[in-house]
Chains A and B, each alone.
Chain A
């Protein structure tokens, strides 16, 4: 199975600041990567797919990028609704696998 490694586990950021979340695959997954946001008690919400395409309704301050097997989710200016858990997921190889998550908390 492809292993997805997210870093850091927890990111402490002040409102209005930039947040940069990382996700690394242990083998090539092309650009078949998605990012999800999860808040307590709710199912995940799709933010980004194909590494850099924003899902419908996602704010423009959220962006994704790829460099080889390294992927980045950037939130340019954190709003209160952005403090949450974030997961990356590869869908290049079966079984599809998720990273262990990065929690973005208020500094």
Chain B
């Protein structure tokens, strides 16, 4: 069975950094597009970033461009999101999601990890 498990969330001060992890099982992460999607408290969903294992350029939402970096460790079958210069508006539950055959459809999601940016 496909499973995605996020970790690394927590409370961080404005301007700080945090690295989220998403460990995949049941499939090889490098053969799929992988994404981060976030959900602000009580709000809707916002796509954040994507990467895949074929060398295609990574992409970011304008709201995080220049501050967040998506990466992966194929040996660990794990996706990461390095979040720098964090702001209050980055407070959200962060989900990793698998892309369906290179499309913009997300066919599997993790349970999410909560990031709170506050002093």
- The answer to whether B105 and A34 have CB atoms under 8 Å apart is yes
Collect the chain A residues with CB atoms within 8 Å of residue B4's CB: 43
Q: How many A-B residue pairs have CB under 8 A?
A: 54
Collect the chain A residues with CB atoms within 8 Å of residue B108's CB: 46
The tally of residues in A whose CB lies under 8 Å from a CB in B reads 24
Chain B, interface size: which category? 20 to 34
Q: Is B11's beta carbon under 8 Å from chain A?
A: no
Q: How far is the CA of A96 from the CA of B108 in the complex (A)?
A: 16
**Residue from A46, A99, A100, A101 whose CB has the most chain B CB atoms within 10 Å:** A46
Collect the chain B residues with CB atoms within 8 Å of residue A101's CB: 44
Q: Is B46's beta carbon under 8 Å from chain A?
A: yes
Contact among B47, B95, B112 with A97 in the assembled complex (CB-CB below 8 Å): B47
Known: A94-B59, A95-B62. A46 touches B44 (CB 8 A): no
Contact among A55, A89, A90 with B107 in the assembled complex (CB-CB below 8 Å): A55
Collect the chain B residues with CB atoms within 8 Å of residue A94's CB: 59
Q: How far is the CA of A101 from the CA of B62 in the complex (A)?
A: 22
- The answer to whether B47 and A49 have CB atoms under 8 Å apart is no
Chain B nearest CB from A93 CB (Å) reads: 9
Known: A95-B47, A96-B47. A42 touches B111 (CB 8 A): yes
Contact among A41, A55, A96, A100 with B104 in the assembled complex (CB-CB below 8 Å): A96
Q: Is B32's beta carbon under 8 Å from chain A?
A: no
Determine the residue in chain B with the shortest Cβ distance to A48.
Answer: B105
Q: How far is the CA of A97 from the CA of B48 in the complex (A)?
A: 10
Contact among A42, A49, A87 with B45 in the assembled complex (CB-CB below 8 Å): A87
Collect the chain B residues with CB atoms within 8 Å of residue A90's CB: 104
Collect the chain A residues with CB atoms within 8 Å of residue B106's CB: 34, 36, 44, 46, 89
Interface string of A71-89 (1 = CB under 8 A from B): 0000000000000000101
